[in-house]
């Protein structure tokens, strides 16, 4: 049972870290545009905002699963709205479903831990 508790603790966090790395990879395309240093730097930081938001939600919710679940749910809705919903289905699914899954993982962890505390 101990390994399951450890897995439930770390799976949402590892998924959030993987999502941040995945989103940060999209920022590297600005180096191929051929702009000057300052424009490239500005574009790079702008493209890193989604990855920064994932890291920020993870830091805030590291010890508070409810906040993390809510934060990733809000992030999933924000991605859905930003991509115009069902007009661009592949992009919407690529960017909105991972935060939703991470939100559900944090929620499941919160529910599982609250039910184990009641059993004691």
pLDDT score at 117: 65
Q: How crowded is residue 56: how many other Cβ atoms within 10 Å of its Cβ? A: 13
Tokens of 6: 């450890």
Specify whether the backbone of 110 is left (phi greater than 0), alpha (psi in -120 to 50) or beta. alpha
What pLDDT score was predicted for residue 18?
95
pLDDT tens string, the chain, 120 residues long: the values are: 577 777 878 899 999 999 999 999 988 888 888 888 898 899 899 999 999 999 999 999 998 889 999 999 999 999 888 887 677 788 788 888 999 999 999 998 888 877 766 655
Domain parsing of the chain, residue ranges: 2-119
For residues 83 and 91, the answer to whether their CB atoms sit within 8 Å is: yes
- pLDDT for 35 equals 82
For residue 90, the model assigns a pLDDT of: 82
**The pLDDT value given to residue 119:** 58
Q: What is the DSSP letter of 44?
A: H
DSSP string, 54-92: HHHHHHHTSS-HHHHHHHHHHHHHHHHHHTTGGGGHHHH
Q: DSSP 3-state helix, strand, coil percentages of the chain (rounded to 5)?
A: 90, 0, 10
3 state DSSP class of 105:
helix
The pLDDT, as a whole number, for residue 85 is 67
């Amino acid at each position: 049972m101990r390994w399951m508790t450890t897995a439930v603790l770390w799976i949402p966090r590892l998924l959030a870290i993987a999502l941040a790395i995945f989103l940060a990879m999209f920022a590297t395309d600005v180096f191929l545009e051929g702009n000057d240093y300052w424009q490239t730097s500005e574009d790079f930081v702008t493209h890193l905002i989604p990855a920064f938001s994932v890291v920020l939600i993870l830091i805030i919710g590291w010890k508070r699963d409810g906040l993390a679940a809510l934060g990733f749910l809000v992030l999933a809705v924000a991605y859905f709205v930003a991509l115009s919903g069902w007009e661009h289905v592949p992009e919407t699914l690529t960017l909105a479903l991972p935060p939703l899954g991470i939100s559900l993982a944090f929620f499941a962890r919160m529910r599982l831990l609250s039910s184990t505390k009641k059993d004691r």
